[in-house]
Every structure is written in C-alpha cells, then in structure tokens.
Structure 1
Amino acid sequence: MLFIIWIIVGGILGWLASMVMKTDAQQGMILNVIVGIVGAFLGGWLLSPLFGTGTINMDDFSMSSLLVSFLGAVILLAIVNLLRRGKVR
C-alpha cells in the first residue's frame, strides 16, 4: 500500500515541478512519476541534510519532506533543461 502512495505522491510532485519549470507539455504521466521519485532521491541527497528532514522515499510524509522532495524534482528538471537546451529556462 505504501508503494502505491509513493507512486501517487511522486507523480503529483513531478507534475507540480514540471509546471513550475514549464515542461509540462513535454511530459506524460509516467515521466511525471519518474521525475517526482528521482527528484525525491536527489532532494534527499542534497537538501535533506540542510532541512533536517526526510523525503517521501524515506517514508516521511510531512510537509517538510514534501517540500524537500518537490525542490529535488525542480532541481532535477533544471539540470535536465540545462543539459538538453543549454539554459535552465
């Protein structure tokens, strides 16, 4: 059951991050889930020590963990845009 919640929350966070980075028209539902989950891993690696909280991948569904996971997804999309287009957007 936790896996299904993890997929749903990852998809929502990936979708919100793609809307912030203006890449929503280029991504589908599956890519939004992937961006949300990989972004949560990235946020856990980079931002979790700064905020002192976990991420959605660490079974921590607090507001701070959702924020860290969301910021990780935004950072992931910024890196992808930088590599593909040469600018963050």
Structure 2
Amino acid sequence: MSFLGFLLLGLIAGAIAKLILPGKQGGGWLITLLLGVVGALLGGWLGSAIFNVDMGGFFDIRSWLLAIGGSIVVLLIYGLIVGRGSKARS
C-alpha cells in the first residue's frame, strides 16, 4: 500500500472509530488522521503478532478491520489521557 493510501486509510478508519465510540471526542481532522494512522499501525502489528494476519491492500477487508480496531483502541487511550488532564484542571 502506498503512503498516501495508508494516510487515507488512517483518516477514514479514525473517522469511523469516532463514529463507533459513544460520547464526544475532541480534535479535528488532523487529530483524527494521526490517531487513525497510529491505530492502523497498531492494528496491523497486533493482527500480525496475535492472529498471524497481515495488512493486505487498500481494498482488503482485513486492512480495514485491523485499522478500525486499532483506531478504536488508540482513541480510547487518547480519551483517557485527554479526559484525565481536563478533569484535573477543573
């Protein structure tokens, strides 16, 4: 998969992860892109390490499921970090 394809996959996976998770998550499209790309990397790494599944091409369903799953995990961690910091300031 090309670099631009991977960025697009990360952006879409991050946006889908934000839609799946309940509540209001902060951040704009740049944070969504970064969280999605990190999530896609995490999902690909976990998929290969645990399930012995590699990231396929852009249109492969495994790539999308791994990227979205990784993005959900990263978004949950991001919400815990950012939520904890904002509560401490109140």
| TM-score normalised by the chain length of structure 1 | 0.73
Residues 53 and 65 in structure 1, CA contact (< 8 A), matched pair in contact too: no
1:21–1:74 CA contact under 8 A, matched in 2: yes
Contact persistence 1:47–1:72 (CA under 8 A) = no
Per-residue deviation, residues 21-76 of structure 1 (Å, max 9, x unmatched)? 24666221111111111001111222333332223xxx633211210111000000
Q: Percent identity?
A: 30
Stretches of structure 1 that go unaligned for 5 or more consecutive residues are: none
Larger Rg: 2
Q: Give the total of aligned pairs.
A: 83
Q: Is the 8 A contact 2:44 2:54 kept in 1?
A: yes
Report the TM-score, using the length of structure 2 for normalisation: 0.72
Mapped to 1, the partners of 2:28 and 2:7 lie a distance apart of 14
Higher RCO structure (Cα 8 Å, ≥6 apart): 2
Following TM superposition, the consecutive aligned residue runs of length 4 or more in structure 1 with deviations greater than 4 angstroms are none
Structure 2 unaligned regions, length at least 5? 85-90
